[in-house]
Structure 1
Amino acid sequence: MHTRDGAATVYHSSKPRILMYAAGALFFIAIGVKLFQTGEASAMFVGLLAAFFFLTYLAVTLALLVRRSPELVITPTGFTHHRRGSLAWAEIDRIRVQEVGGHRFLEVLLHDPDAYLTRTSLVKRVLGHANRGIGYSPVTISTRTVRASLHEVAEAMRRHHPALPIEA
């Protein structure tokens, strides 16, 4: 579900979905702790890695619960995503719907990916380069944690920028 604020389409996080992901993280943290408690070196190592990874994931997920700002705002000039930053429509070549492992997302193909990466934070640069390394744009948008479907977000983008090519 989205709201219209003047000329913007605003998407907020879905608290129930975020809580579901937090519960999943807690489950995997518990598995990691159990593996660590086995006393076997390889199981302890895997358990420690799992616990660390899912504790980090849990912290990020819980931060989404308390964040008051929208997750995604789409306007006639571009969009702002809470993790990806702001992009103007002029920077975007096209949007492509992608699917990996049953998870669908929007891949935002840029005219100049290096210009985007240059102006982002170190974490976004590392993640963006990782995406490029596996053949994707440095900018992808998931709708797993918003109150809207992938189709609704793509249509909102098209409403705000009718010339935007969207490949299904």
Structure 2
Amino acid sequence: MNRLVAWGLAILVSPLLCLVALAILVSDGLPLLYIQSRLGQNRRPFRIYKFRTMRDGKVSRIGRLLRRSGLDELPQLYNIIKADMNIIGPRPLTTADIMRLGWQVADCDWRWSVKPGISGLAQLTRICSARLSLRLDGHYVSHKSWRYDLRILLGSLSIPCKGRKKAAKTASALKKRL
């Protein structure tokens, strides 16, 4: 189902993808994409795709807009089509991130029992510590369902429209219950 939705979304937003790519090309030049190795389900490595938002180690003007709106994540539809990711799930991390967070221990293996996603509960919160992020990921893994995915997706879609600050109110009630 995720792959079918990703195909549909990719077709639907293809004009926007082209517009973003053109804006990056005109303002910052090539390359258009940022490609990085991340760990997915069962800690299997894969290459994640994002629109490039930085130039010479600094966030570019267009990059700031892309990050604020979440549009830099759109190329990850390709990751969903390739079945590396789902639309909703814990964010995929680099090996360095996992080590820095201390999540390489067996007690955290459950986090990699599901495919990573473009968005998840932690992305709905305005400020999210590593501890809270892990708790939110655990809540998601133990309550995963298509209805829950739909609720998270609707909250995620509101971020570009409302801004992260207002959309975070969607997740604040859940944070209080955890």
TM-score by length of 2: 0.29
Q: Flag the structure with higher helix content.
A: 2
Q: Which has the larger radius of gyration?
A: 1
TM-score by length of 1: 0.31
- Where relative contact order (Cα < 8 A, 6+ residues apart) is larger, the structure is 1
Q: Flag the structure with higher strand content.
A: 1
